[in-house]
Chains A and B, each alone.
Chain A
Amino acid sequence: DVKVTQSSRYLVKRTGEKVFLECVQDMDHENMFWYRQDPGLGLRLIYFSYDVKMKEKGDIPEGYSVSREKKERFSLILESASTNQTSMYLCASSPRLAGGPEEQFFGPGTRLTVL
Chain B
Amino acid sequence: DQQVKQNSPSLSVQEGRISILNCDYTNSMFDYFLWYKKYPAEGPTFLISISSIKDKNEDGRFTVFLNKSAKHLSLHIVPSQPGDSAVYFCAASDRGGGADGLTFGKGTHLIIQP
Contacts and interface: CB of A to CB of B under 8 A. Distances in A.
Contacts of A31: 100
B89 A42 contact: yes
B102 A101 contact: yes
A43 B44 contact: yes
A63 B34 CA distance: 29
B106 interface: yes
B45 interface: yes
Interface residues of B, number: 26
B59 interface: no
Nearest to B49: A103
Contacts of A35: 104
Given A42-B105, A58-B101, A108 B41 contact: yes
A33 B95 CA distance: 16
Contacts of B105: 42
Contacts, number: 67
B60 interface: no
Contact of B100 (A9, A101, A106): A101
Interface of A: 4, 9, 31, 33, 35, 40-45, 48, 50, 56, 58-59, 90, 92, 94, 96, 99-101, 103-109
Interface of B: 6, 9, 32, 34, 36, 41-46, 49, 89, 91, 93, 95-96, 99-107
23 contacts: A35-B104, A40-B9, A41-B106, A42-B6, A42-B106, A43-B44, A43-B89, A43-B102, A45-B103, A48-B100, A99-B95, A100-B93, A100-B96, A101-B93, A101-B95, A103-B34, A103-B46, A104-B46, A104-B102, A107-B43, A108-B42, A108-B43, A109-B42
